[in-house]
Structure 1
Amino acid sequence: MSKRSSIYTLMLSGVLILVVGCSSSPDEQDIVIGNRSEQAMYLDAKEKMKLGNFGAATATLSSLDSKYPFGPYSHQIQLDLIYSYYKSGKSTEAIATIDRFTRLNPNHSDVDYALYMRGLTNMETDKNLFQELIGIDRSDRDPSHSREAFEDFRHLIEKFPESKYAADAQKRMLHIKSRLAKYEIAIARFYMRREAFVAAANRGRYVLEYYSDTTHVQEALEIMVECYDQLNLEELKINAMKTLKLNYPNSSFIS
């Protein structure tokens, strides 16, 4: 054997020894590599969130959620994924992730946060970007997501009254009630234009019964007065007028 061949043989033997030595505990190596990979991916997702790139963050976090469902970061990954979905306007995905998190982790310390985010997501879904951009009032649009958001916040406050999110949830419930009252007023006026005065009066009464702490009570009473007048229901008209005079003496309906 030549000197050159001897050197090559020695080098090859050294490489084989190194490979064998490095692979002496494959399970341990896989765990280390897997953990580093999860951590690296998670840090990358957090950096994307910090930069406001929530669309890219959701892709990374979703991949992590699928790849490491029981990893050390799994709960935080899901919570960050909820927020990233919310910020990127993916409400369906956000709600699905929230429901899965609360179902599988009912005693987790951040369940109140998940419920709060459910309410925020439903509120955001109810908004109409086109309406907000050009100032069109569409109070008559379907308020089902607002109703669901109201129930989300109510559930949060009832289950976690001491939560740091409870006070804000309470404020948002008041805002939602105003939105729902405005919807009832819009539908009442729709009925009035079609001379469906019984239906319109009922909408006004509904506002008095369920949204008496909103700014739309005066409108509701005025609608009731007008509808009862059209229906020749004098006693009901007088009662509605008395309430209107007592609470809103400057109303144009009061002669």
Structure 2
Amino acid sequence: MNTPTKLLFLSFISISMGLTGCASIKGAIKKDKEVITTAEKSEQDYYQSAQNALAKERYREAIIALTNVRTFYPTGKYAQQALLDLIYAQYQAKDYESVTASTAEFMRSYPTSPHADYALYVQGVTNMDGSPKSGRLIRLNQAERDTSYLRLAFSDFSNLVNQYPNSAYVPDAVQRMTALYNNFAYHELEAARWYIKRDAYVAAANRAKWVFQYFPQSDQVPEAIAILAYSNAKLGLTDTANQYKTLLQINYPQYLNADGTVKINSNFGLSYGKKALSALTFGKFGRTTDTQSYQGNYDGQTRTQLITTANAMQLPESEIPTERPQPTQKPRTIGLGLPDEATP
């Protein structure tokens, strides 16, 4: 092939490649336009549809519209507010797994937002409700459930109080922290009562001591002292039992009989056990547009007192082992020796 022919051939190849490249670019542009045009409404129209659905409490419909805002206009005018509204709608629709995913996304995407406290608060409330596959918090006996979600909730509320001390949600967050804190202590005492019924006084005393040492701000402390007094007396540790009885006599005399013995009922349980969380009513949050009017449950403490109360409550890093010990006395049951209740 002579030189002119070679030049002509190369020119043809170049032109062909150029045409192919142009076709590719045009195809890409056309493809992008097709993707963009899949949004059937403008950002404002999607957002307004969501507002209409929320006003009518059609939360699933609102979720679809808000998701469209986030999908088609991720950097648009309504993107941040759409995610906040999405968090609210998902919670009202009881889609708790999606709530925690959305709150995490909000705090990651908008860490300096004035509504970051809202996202953290809703995350705590959702974790307080428990695993998405479990029942609602206040409908269950909390001493018989997995506490991992409750620990997450406690951490969320603690972070809220410390990171956003001026938040409108602090009073309710502190109340929730207090309820959770008391609930963890109650969880241990439920186990202690179970051990007392089976004459396992060493295990009962260990559980009560755990409450006495690690939940000193709990309203379960009086009963923990009573269990320590009762269990040590049963173990023949008279001096130790009397020390705890002295504490009861000075601070909680209602736990003692006239003869100085600890009061128990016919079920071999302490008479004054309190059931945590089941009777409590917490504040109900609305959308972020309602933040200014939100009050929650407020017990009259100043904001400084609330923060002090919250910081005084610390959960132990790990939970007490739950393995079942051998009874210290002959069991009251015969036959196969199987327990009539599940071990806590």
TM-score (norm 2): 0.59
Structure 2 CA distance for partners of 1:104 and 1:240, relative to 1, 3 Å? same
Aligned partner of residue 126 in structure 2, secondary structure: helix
Aligned partner of residue 207 in structure 1, secondary structure: helix
Q: How big is each residue's C-alpha offset from its partner over 1:1-27, in whole Å with a ceiling of 9 and x where there is no partner?
A: xxxxxxxxxxxxxxxxxxxxxxxxxxx
Tell me, yes or no, if structure 1 residue 91 matches structure 2 residue 108.
Answer: no
Corresponding letter in the other structure for 2:253? P
Post-superposition offset of 1:146: 1.6
From 135, 145, 155, the equivalent of 1:128 is 135
| Higher percent of residues as helix | 1
Q: How big is each residue's C-alpha offset from its partner over 1:60-111, in whole Å with a ceiling of 9 and x where there is no partner?
A: 2223222222111111111111111112111111111111111222112111
Q: Tell me which residue corresponds to 1:174.
A: 178
Post-superposition offset of 1:245: 1.5
Q: Tell me which residue corresponds to 1:238.
A: 242
Aligned partner of residue 139 in structure 1, secondary structure: helix
8 Å CA contact 1:184–1:204 kept in 2: the answer is yes
Post-superposition offset of 1:59: 2.6
Structure 2 CA distance for partners of 1:37 and 1:221, relative to 1, 3 Å? same
Structure 2 CA distance for partners of 1:190 and 1:64, relative to 1, 3 Å? farther
Tell me, yes or no, if structure 1 residue 61 matches structure 2 residue 38.
Answer: no
Could you tell me which runs of 5 or more consecutive residues in structure 1 were left unpaired when the two chains were aligned. Answer: 1-30
Corresponding letter in the other structure for 1:219? E
Runs of 4+ in 1 over 4 A off after TM superposition: 33-36
Q: Tell me which residue corresponds to 1:143.
A: 147
8 Å CA contact 1:125–1:145 kept in 2: the answer is yes
8 Å CA contact 2:130–2:136 kept in 1: the answer is no
Corresponding letter in the other structure for 1:236? T
Could you tell me which runs of 5 or more consecutive residues in structure 2 were left unpaired when the two chains were aligned. Answer: 1-35, 262-344
From 216, 229, 252, the equivalent of 2:220 is 216
8 Å CA contact 1:139–1:183 kept in 2: the answer is yes
8 Å CA contact 2:59–2:90 kept in 1: the answer is yes
Structure 2 CA distance for partners of 1:62 and 1:252, relative to 1, 3 Å? farther
Q: Tell me which residue corresponds to 1:12.
A: none
Q: Which stretch shows the higher mean deviation, 211-220 or 107-116?
A: 211-220
Corresponding letter in the other structure for 1:99? A
Q: Tell me which residue corresponds to 1:73.
A: 78
1-structure distance, mates of 2:171, 2:41: 40
Structure 2 CA distance for partners of 1:138 and 1:172, relative to 1, 3 Å? closer
Q: Tell me which residue corresponds to 1:46.
A: 51
Post-superposition offset of 1:36: 5.7
Q: Tell me which residue corresponds to 2:341.
A: none
1-structure distance, mates of 2:136, 2:111: 34
Q: Which stretch shows the higher mean deviation, 156-165 or 203-212?
A: 203-212
Q: How big is each residue's C-alpha offset from its partner over 1:210-249, in whole Å with a ceiling of 9 and x where there is no partner?
A: 3333332222122212221232223321222111221111
8 Å CA contact 2:129–2:137 kept in 1: the answer is no
Structure 2 CA distance for partners of 1:179 and 1:138, relative to 1, 3 Å? closer
Corresponding letter in the other structure for 2:50? A
Q: Which stretch shows the higher mean deviation, 150-159 or 198-207?
A: 198-207
Q: Percent identity between the aligned chains?
A: 33
After superposition, residues 104-123 of structure 1 pair within 5 angstroms as 104-123=109-128
Corresponding letter in the other structure for 1:228? N
Post-superposition offset of 1:130: 9.7
2-structure distance, mates of 1:60, 1:231: 66
Q: Which stretch shows the higher mean deviation, 55-64 or 151-160?
A: 55-64
Q: Tell me which residue corresponds to 2:165.
A: 161
Structure 2 CA distance for partners of 1:235 and 1:111, relative to 1, 3 Å? same
Corresponding letter in the other structure for 1:120? V
8 Å CA contact 1:95–1:118 kept in 2: the answer is yes
Superposition RMSD in Å: 2.8
